[in-house]
Amino acid sequence: QGRFTLLRDTRTDGSFLVHHFLSFYLRAGCKVCFVALLQSFSHYNIVAQKLGVSLTAAKERGQLVFLEGLKSCLELVFGEEEEQPGQPSPLQFLCTCDLRALFDFVRVSLTPTDGDSWKGPVLLVDDLSVLLSLGATPVAVLDFIHYCRVSVCSQLKGNVVVLVHSHEDSEDEENELVVTSLCHHSDLILWAEGLATGFCKDVHGQIRIIKRLSLQQAGEQDLIQIYQYKIQDRNITFFARGLSAAVL
Partner 1 sequence: LVFTEEDKYGLYSNLLFKYFLAEGIVCGHDLFVASAKEHPDNILKELPAPLLDDTYGKELGDEAAAVKSEDFQDSMKIAWRYQNLPKMEASPATFTKFGHYYDMSKKMSPELFQSIKWHSFYLHEELSSQPKMKPCNMNSAYTRLLQSIQRIISQGGFDGSDPQKKQKNVLRIGVQSLGSLLWGDDICCSDTPEDIHSLTKFLYVLRGLLRKSLSACIITVPSHLIQNKAIMERVTNLSDMVVGLESFIGSERETNPLYKDYHGLVHVHQIPRLNSLICDVSDTMDLAFRLKRKQFTIECLHLPPDLSDTVSRASKQDLAGSAKLLSSGCGAMAIGKKHLDF
Q: Binding residues for partner 1, per CB under 8 A?
A: 11-13, 15-16, 19, 38-40, 42-43, 46-47, 50, 69-71, 73-74, 76-79, 94-95, 97, 127, 129-130, 132-135, 165, 168, 170-175, 193-201, 204-205, 231-236
For residues 13 and 104, which CB has a smaller minimum distance to partner 1 in the complex?
A: 13
How far are the Cα atoms of 19, 35, 85 from residue 22, in angstroms, in the given order? 5, 11, 32
Report the nearest approach of partner 1 to the CB of residue 22 (Å).
12
For residues 57 and 77, which CB has a smaller minimum distance to partner 1 in the complex?
A: 77
Report the nearest approach of partner 1 to the CB of residue 166 (Å).
10
Report the nearest approach of partner 1 to the CB of residue 58 (Å).
18
Q: Which helix (H) or strand (E) holds 147?
A: helix 138-148
> Which residues of the chain form beta strands (DSSP E)?
4-10, 30-36, 64-68, 119-126, 159-165, 188-193, 205-211, 223-231, 236-239
How far are the Cα atoms of 42, 134, 186 from residue 89, in angstroms, in the given order? 21, 15, 29
Residue whose C-alpha is closest to residue 157's, from 122, 129, 207: 122
Report the nearest approach of partner 1 to the CB of residue 112 (Å).
31
For residues 70 and 215, which CB has a smaller minimum distance to partner 1 in the complex?
A: 70
Report the nearest approach of partner 1 to the CB of residue 81 (Å).
11
Give yes or no for a contact between 153 and 144, defined as CB atoms under 8 angstroms apart.
Answer: no
For residues 82 and 114, which CB has a smaller minimum distance to partner 1 in the complex?
A: 82
For residues 77 and 243, which CB has a smaller minimum distance to partner 1 in the complex?
A: 77
Per DSSP, the chain holds a count of helices (H) and strands (E) of 10, 9
Report the nearest approach of partner 1 to the CB of residue 48 (Å).
10
How far apart (Å, rounded) are the C-alpha atoms in residues 154 and 44? 28
For residues 99 and 110, which CB has a smaller minimum distance to partner 1 in the complex?
A: 99
Residue whose C-alpha is closest to residue 30's, from 143, 120, 101, 134: 120
